[in-house]
Structure 1
Amino acid sequence: MAIAEEIKKPHVAFLPSPGMGHITPLFEFAKRLVINHNFHVSFFVITTNASTAQNELFRPDNLPSDFHVIEIPPVENMSSFFTDDMRVLTQLAIIVRESLKHLPSLLMTHRPKALIIDLFCTDAFEICEKLEIPVYSFFTASTILMMFSLYLPTLDREVEGEFVDLPEPIQTPGCNPICPHDVLDQVKDRKNEEYKWYLLHVSRLPLAAGIFVNSWDDLEPVSLKALKENLFFQNIPVPPIHAIGPLIKQDEVITEKGAEILAWLDNQPPDSVLFVVFGSGGTLTSEQLTELAWGLEISQQRFILVARMPSDASASAAFFNVGSDENDPLLYLPEGFVKKTEGRGLVVPSWAPQVAILNHPSTGAFLSHCGWNSTLESIAHGVPMIAWPLYAEQRMNATILAEEVGVAMKFPVVPCEELISQKEIEKVVRIVMEGEKGKAMRRRGKELKESAKIALSKGGSSYESLCSVVQFWKSQ
């Protein structure tokens, strides 16, 4: 297409930080603007330490026309910035900081009407202020986490010591109290650089021209209402909030391996299969993986287990190399497990087509790490969850899903902090797959599935929320 023709279309740009959990929702948002609203999109991609999955996502045949990927050159000698004990968020923040040194020249070449960033790209506020380009934030996690994050600078000023040591639940304005134990990992050690980076980024949220949230009115009604009406948030003041979710992966490339998984599902009864996967970056310890395997075996339920090499060092060990972990599960799953569960269970190394599996009528439940993208995919397909949070804000999500939304069941102990025994796994799996509680969760899941469809349809709350911003951009 000629440049002159492109310029006639409204042009916005996107900038996600590394990690598929950040990239995927911004990618889906950008595609929606191109396909449904006739926009031209520049999608800036940080290429430093890019994962195999990231490179696969941006293949040219995976992109609509008018969707232009602009690669930010990799940072040289990136490893010199890191130390052996540096946590994932600190690494991510430094990668973004160094990569965005290229952003001013790229924005001057591909000048958009607006730039949409995620939480960890807030250095763009200062850059875009000089270029007079408005910046919008897309908060890719739950609304309740965003409310806690907006409240964090106040907590930081008012509370001494560690938040996890507080004797009472944390009362974020307008929310149900949050158990200190459930707060996200990044704020559990205020002396660590990770906390300082998180506090820096969330303290800049009020600078946005608007904040998009990947949610909708029926899923988080109390939080969305409080953001708009509670005096605390009015006094910050919080920019206009646009609930436009659920923005989830609409389609995915089905490989030959993926087709075999779906063919296996075709031969299972409706709602009979438990899908077990821990997101794009999650890993279990060797001991916990063994307990999980035998728990699935003694439960006598059908299952698909996406197996990943265990790590005793970190629950997020696969964050920067998702999609490249080709391995043989027989080398680390307990001896005899695959043979014992043959026919009833399917073990898949590293990766599976998650959206297609959740959308399959044979899938009855999802044992999930409760990352927000996986949560929305599960809800949008009406599938209840067994909550197995690993890191970041996943414990907060698990509590909300179990206690407020009614689509998940938690374990009595906290994964990652205590070993979950095979007997406990068997018990919870049976309750969700066969019990009355599981049936109630399945009914609630189907209600929210319909609600999500309505929200995204013409006249629905999410559709109209996005349209109001689209019309504003088109009028500029």
Structure 2
Amino acid sequence: MTKTVVLYPGLGVGHLTPMVELAKLFLQHGVAVTVALVEPPVKAPDFSAAVARAAASNPSITFHVLPPLAADAPPAGSSSDDTPKHHVIQMFDHLGAMNAPLRDFLRSLPAVDALVIDMFCADALDVAAELKLPAYFFYASGAGDLAVFLNMPSVRANMTMSLEEFRDSVLSLPGAPPFKASDLPAAILTDSEAAKAVLRMFQRMPESNGILINTFESLETRAARALRDGLCVPYRATPPVYCVGPLVSGGGEKEHECIRWLDAQPDRSVVFLTFGSLGTFPKKQLEEIAAGLEKSGQRFLWVVRSPRSADQNLNEPLGEPDLDALLPDGFLERTKGRGLVLKSWAPQVDVLRHRATGAFVTHCGWNSTLEGIVAGLQLLCWPLYAEQRMNMVFIVEEMKLGVEMRGYDEEMVTAEEVETKLRWVMESEDGRALRERVLVVKDRAADALKEGGSSYAAFVEFLEDLETVNRS
């Protein structure tokens, strides 16, 4: 009889996209898949569009949007004293409140063999336990991050220094190179309720039956080994860990204007700059990027999003950017032909895999990191938020597949830095050597997914383990 799994992604496109790729992997192995979706608390066009695209291009996957909370339920951002909650707490509150609709949905299905949840959906472990369902996490970022974060509840609980001293310290943890504590996500560098909620989430992950990670063994050997050896969870046994990636979208957008523009450019000549669905910059930083691009003399494709105001909710949609108002006078005209600026969005996977693209300026979100690696591109690392600084440490120090854009953690990445790094990566011998390293890893990524490869074998092992769990 065909197995059935339910996948439960968290909020946001960055969590939906890799979960859909995981769903396709289940289908390839003959397992039926339903993706249970949670509507964001604030209507998000990006999310709705991503769901529509995923459903249209994957007819064999069932997508089910869980019913929204009752109209009289308090909104996720409210509190008893009317002070707005931290956006992380809002997210956990919203996902926690969806346990009841999730439970009802799972009960309505004829059979479910496992529930696979996003890391932010740790409260759904309670639903799985109640229904006696095996529960697995799908960790959509890297093994290095996971090795560090599983350690953090213990690190914070046993900390003898002040938080200020901790932020200034250098950490040496199993599975990771030494790194500055200040590179950890801001959400866990405080004593806030948000920090406590994130640490609780990582503390709960080992309660699961196992953790699937969107990475491949040869990319993160040290971290994968530390996780498997149980070195990252000092307070209890670590569940089985399966490196099943790289799971990235196949693309397929052929008609977008930027693809036609790339078609007219020389091979490996264009630098692509984009910073994820939440990545925005103030006008002054956009002007510095523009000046650096212009001075560098390099061809470029740049996605510009409207700046986000300080009090704007992360889930609120941004308006279309006014490029003439945001960029230096005459910039678009002076760089016409050599560069193309897009408003808000580009078909990223298709751009990265295009023969004309030669390097990738990225915010180091893990989806983008893997997409760049799979495309064989050098990574110019400009982390913005969440775990992206940690990703940059692993990309630059451990994998040696990228270079840091200096200034991201200060006031500004200057025009001079943009110009210098673009010239370095596109014109220097060191930049060419970096490209050669990335091309080797690109081949290893493809091999990992083939029958007999490490990720293929890990997924088969996971399915066998699931069979054993279901029999017991």
> How far 1:150 moved relative to its partner?
1.0
Please report how far the alpha carbon of residue 187 of structure 1 lies from its aligned counterpart in structure 2 after TM superposition. 1.0
Partner of 1:360 in structure 2?
354
Deviation of the 1:163 alpha carbon: 6.5
C-alpha displacement at 1:116, in angstroms? 0.4
Distance of aligned partners of 1:131 and 1:233 in 2 relative to their CA distance in 1, 3 Å threshold:
same
Quote the Cα distance in structure 2 between the aligned partners of 1:331 and 1:362: 29
The counterpart of 2:341, out of the listed 347, 364, 368, is: 347
Q: CA offsets per residue over residues 78-100 of structure 1, 9 Å max, x none?
A: 26527776443222212211222
- Match for 2:356: what amino acid? S
Structure 2 CA distance for partners of 1:72 and 1:9, relative to 1, 3 Å = same
Once residues 436 and 78 of structure 1 are traced to their aligned partners in structure 2, the CA distance between those partners, rounded to angstroms, is 55
Deviation readout 1:44-94 (Å, 9 max, x if unpaired):
000133522322233275243441111112234526527776443222212
d(CA) in 1 for partners of 2:425 and 2:433? Answer: 9
SS in 2 for 1:42: strand
Question: Is contact 1:282-1:319 (8 Å) kept?
Answer: no
| Percent of aligned pairs sharing the same letter | 33
- Aligned position for 1:218: 218
Q: Is the 8 A contact 1:164 1:181 kept in 2?
A: no
Q: Which amino acid aligns with 1:102?
A: P
- C-alpha distance in 1 between matches for 2:462 and 2:376: 29
Q: CA deviation at 1:240?
A: 0.2
- 1:308 and 1:95 map into 2 onto residues whose CA distance is 27
What amino acid maps onto 1:450 in structure 2?
Answer: D
| Alpha-carbon contact 1:10-1:473 (below 8 Å) kept | no
Q: Is the contact between residue 280 and residue 319 of structure 1 (CA under 8 Å) also seen in structure 2?
A: no
- 2:399 aligned to which of 396, 405, 408: 405
Structure 1 CA distance, aligned partners of 2:231 and 2:397?
26
Q: Distance in 1 between matches of 2:64 and 2:50?
A: 14
Unaligned 5+ residue runs, structure 2?
none
> CA, structure 1 residues 158+80, in 2 after alignment: closer, same or farther (shift >3 Å)?
closer
The alignment status of 1:383 with 2:384, answered yes or no, reads no
TM-score by length of structure 1 reads 0.91
CA 165–468 in structure 1, closer or farther in 2 if over 3 Å, else same: closer
Q: Does 1:243 find its partner at 2:221?
A: no
Give yes or no for the alignment of 1:88 onto 2:87: yes
1:176 counterpart = 2:177: yes
- Distance in 1 (alpha carbons) for counterparts of 2:151 and 2:164: 13
Aligned match for 2:12, one of 15, 19, 27: 19
Q: Deviations over 1:124-146 (max 9, x none)?
A: 11111111001000111121111
Which of residues 249, 256, 263 in structure 2 aligns to 1:266?
Answer: 263
The residue number in structure 2 matching 1:3 is none
Name which of 276, 280, 304 aligns with 1:279.
Answer: 276
- The partner residue of 1:451 within 444, 454, 466 is 444
> Relative to structure 1, is the Cα distance of residues 424 and 156 closer, same or farther in structure 2, using a 3 angstrom cutoff?
same
| Distance change >3 Å, CA 278–CA 85, structure 1 → 2 | farther
Cα distance in structure 1, aligned partners of 2:86 and 2:352: 32
Contact residue 270 and residue 363 of structure 1 kept, 8 A:
yes
Q: After superposing the two structures, state which structure 1 stretch, 148-157 or 296-305, moved more.
A: 148-157
Q: Deviations over 1:21-58 (max 9, x none)?
A: 11111111012212x11221111000133522322233
Distance apart, 1:418 and its partner CA: 2.1
Residue-by-residue CA offset, 1:410-452 (whole Å, 9 max, x unaligned) = 1333x15321111121111110111122111111111111000
Structure 1 residue 211: deviation in Å? 0.3
Q: What SS does the corresponding residue of 2:171 show, helix, strand or coil?
A: coil
Matched with 1:201 is 201
- Three-state SS of the structure 1 residue aligned to 2:392 is helix
Aligned to 2:310: 313
Check conservation: 1:244, 1:466, Cα contact below 8 A.
Answer: yes
| Residues 173 and 230, structure 1, Cα contact 8 Å, conserved in 2 | no
* Structure 1 residues 229 and 163: CA distance shift in structure 2, 3 A: farther
* Counterpart for residue 412 of structure 2: 419
The one-letter amino acid of 1:266's match is D
Q: Is it true that 1:395 corresponds to 2:389 in the alignment?
A: yes
SS at match of 2:5: strand
Partner of 2:36: 44
Kept in 2, the 8 Å contact 1:274–1:301? The answer is yes
1:115-154 correspondence to structure 2 within 5 Å: 115-154=115-154
Q: Contact conserved, 1:286 with 1:311, CA < 8 A, in 2?
A: no
Cα RMSD over matched residues?
A: 2.1
Count of residues paired in the alignment = 460
**Code of the aligned partner of 2:148:** F
What's the offset of the Cα at 1:472? Answer: 4.1
1:384 positional shift: 0.6
Residue of structure 2 in register with 1:463 after alignment? 456
What residue ranges of structure 1 are gaps of 5+ in the alignment? 1-7
Q: Which moved more, 1:193-202 or 1:162-171?
A: 162-171
- For residues 295-334 of structure 1, what are the structure 2 equivalents within 5 Å? 295-311=292-308, 313=310, 319-321=314-316, 325-334=319-328
Check whether the contact 2:226–2:232 (CA below 8 A) recurs between aligned residues.
no
What is the CA deviation profile of residues 352-400 of structure 1, one whole-angstrom value per residue up to 9, with x for unaligned ones? Answer: 0000000011100000000011000000110111111101111111121
Question: Counterpart in 2 of 1:5?
Answer: none
Deviations 1:260-305 (A, max 9, x none): 2111111111111000000111111221111111111111100001
TM-score by length of 2: 0.92
Distance 1:236 1:252, change over 3 A: farther
Question: How far is the alpha carbon of 1:407 from its aligned partner?
Answer: 1.2
Change (3 A) 1:80 1:92: closer
Per the alignment, do residues 463 and 164 of structure 1 end up closer, same or farther by CA in structure 2, a change over 3 Å counting? Answer: farther
Does structure 1 conserve the Cα–Cα contact (< 8 Å) formed by 2:142 and 2:214?
yes
CA distance in 2 between counterparts of 1:395 and 1:81 reads: 30
